[in-house]
Structure 1
Amino acid sequence: MPIKLTDIARLAQILEKSGVDTIEIEEPGQSLKLVVDTGPRMAASAAPAAPAAPAAPAIDHSVIAKADVAGHFLAAHPWRDQPFVAQGQRIEAGTTVGLVKIGLLYAPIVAPAAGTVDAVIAETGATVGYGTPIVRIRPLS
């Protein structure tokens, strides 16, 4: 029985809630590897940072375009030299901001809102999982 996208989304939610970042499922004729971004990780050799002085909480209205599938992030289509988006570029909702390469397939990552590209968070070639932040967008005022 094929794995449905709704099942993948539900599995990713369960993984995230339980603190598990990877699951691999193999059945005859199909396999699924789901990698969930659990946030920044501190290197084992890094010294703990000194506590920062309390500051007023900043309100961040940024919108994040996230990966819908696991694979390798591509900022540009393999046949093109230019990335889909660049920092400072104004984009519309639904604009393709990158691709996730899954084997021979390319899944688009689309902007959830119109705005200005604040940063491309993911690095080209990086392994990304369901929900991995890819591009940060400042909504239009």
Structure 2
Amino acid sequence: MHISKIRQIVEWISRANLAQFELHSGDFSLRLTRPLNRVASGAAVTAQAAEPTAPATRIGAMATVCGRFLSRHPGRDTPEVQPGDVIAVGTLIGLIQVGDVLLPVTANAAGTVEAFMVDEQQRVEYGTALLSLVHA
């Protein structure tokens, strides 16, 4: 299985807040597990010493078509977004060039831009992670 498909599955299970996902296909199997971020109703919460943690990183945008990724329009000098920018869902983060056509790519999550996950003009496939976000 290509890593881009695994990334897509990880995004789906995160959005659905699932703790576990299993896929079996012929001689291939994949099992993903993750901690849930919520406390079950009625569960006791214990106090623990707070330790500083690094902000969580997540995928902020994924390719919806195959083509070449552009972080900026060819007529502009600066990228649509840059590391450190705070973005909302739906923010234009770049373009995918398919032949002579430029298709917009928008953020599917809100947060602070950490980095582009692909190089400028890199060929991308459907589901390729394009942008990482940091959440405090």
TM-score when normalising by structure 1: 0.56
Between the aligned residues of both structures, percent identity stands at 37
Long gaps (5+) in structure 1: 1-18, 22-35, 40-56
Q: Structure 1 counterpart of 2:65, which letter? A: V
Q: What's the secondary structure of 1:37's corresponding residue?
A: helix
The match for 1:99 among 95, 109, 133 is: 95
> How much does 1:92 deviate?
1.3
Would you say the 8 A contact 1:121–1:134 is kept in 2? yes
Q: Which residue of 2 aligns with 1:4?
A: none
The match for 1:84 among 47, 67, 80 is: 80
Would you say the 8 A contact 1:67–1:130 is kept in 2? yes
Runs of at least 4 residues off by over 2 Å: 36-39, 57-61
The match for 1:126 among 110, 117, 122 is: 122
Structure 1 59/95 Cα, relative in aligned 2: closer, same or farther at 3 Å? closer
TM-score when normalising by structure 2: 0.58
> How much does 1:37 deviate?
3.4
- How many residue pairs match? The answer is 91
> How much does 1:93 deviate?
1.0
Would you say the 8 A contact 2:60–2:110 is kept in 1? no
RMSD after superposition: 2.7
Long gaps (5+) in structure 2: 7-34, 36-53
The match for 1:114 among 110, 114, 125 is: 110
